[in-house]
A = this chain, B = another copy of it.
């Protein structure tokens, strides 16, 4: 039975510790978000599927009359995660950038617009890099386990830094031969 990538994000989140659906979402929002986002619309149905498949198990943990279901990995779930991570097959890296489409077709507009667009893109990536930086600072203290989390965070920061600089340089070059 094939699992979605989102399912593996869930398994990965639960590998660290038992979590509620809400908690998994919060985890994803501040960690995998920049390369794999998770929404409630997928999360809760997916949790059901993983339960049915026996990869996770649940435990009720209400606080007063507020419901809360805590999920944890089963042995099967743990194996499924490890197998998936170990799988050496190449998967495509998906990029979709609307602004890059605009830039691609920007010969259709005047130079000023083109420069503005490049500057906007530089700013966008700078902002994204900054956001990831702050994310890293707020998580720095905890979990020295899972060093790969920080590695991937650094990747994000440096990648967006690279793109920001690239677009900034482009804006300057475009402006130069005005």
Contact = CB atoms under 8 A, between A and B. Distances in A.
Given A93-B100, A94-B95, A105 B88 contact: no
A95 B98 contact: no
A147 interface: yes
Prevailing SS type, chain A contact patch: helix
Contacts of A166: 155, 158-159
Contacts of A97: 35-36, 91, 93-94
A90 B120 contact: yes
Interface string A88-127: 1011111111111111111111000110110010011100
B15 A108 contact: yes
A43 interface: no
Contact of A101 (B32, B78, B124): B32
B124 A93 contact: yes
Contacts of A147: 107
B85 A113 contact: yes
A176 to B, nearest CB: 14
9 contacts: A35-B95, A36-B96, A36-B100, A81-B108, A84-B102, A85-B108, A93-B163, A107-B145, A155-B170
Interface of A: 5, 8-9, 12, 15, 31-32, 34-36, 78, 81-82, 84-88, 90-109, 113-114, 116-117, 120, 123-125, 128, 145-149, 151-152, 155, 158-159, 162-163, 166, 170
